[in-house]
Amino acid sequence: MTSLYAPAVAGFLLGGSLIIAIGAQNAFILRQGLLRQHVFILCLICALSDAVLIALGVAGLGAIISGSKLLIGAVTLGGAAFLAVYAVMALRRAISPSGMEAARTAPGSLKAAVLTCLAFTFLNPHVYLDTVLLVGGLSGRYQGAARVAFALGAMSASFVWFFGLGYGARVLQPLFAKPAAWRVLDGLIALVMAALSLSLLHRFFAG
Tens digits of residue pLDDT in 94-118 = 887 544 444 454 557 899 999 999 9
pLDDT given at position 98: 47
For 23-49, write each residue's pLDDT tens digit. Answer: 778 888 988 998 889 999 999 999 999
DSSP, res 108: P
CB 166 within 8 A of CB 25: no
* Residue 100 pLDDT: 45
pLDDT at 113 (0 to 100): 92
pLDDT at residue number 129: 75
**Alpha-carbon torsion 157, 159, 163, 166, what sign?**
positive
Give tens-digit pLDDT for 135-192. Answer: 877 777 778 888 889 899 999 999 999 999 999 988 887 877 777 877 888 888 888 8
pLDDT at 1 > cutoff 60: no
pTM of the model: 0.74
Q: How far apart are CA 4 and CA 109, in angstroms?
A: 43
**Separation between Cα atoms, residue 61 and residue 47, nearest integer Å:** 19
The answer to whether the beta carbons of residues 170 and 33 sit under 8 Å apart is: yes
Greater model confidence, 7 or 162: 162
d(C-alpha 116, C-alpha 136), whole Å: 26
Q: Decide: helix, strand or coil at residue 60.
A: coil
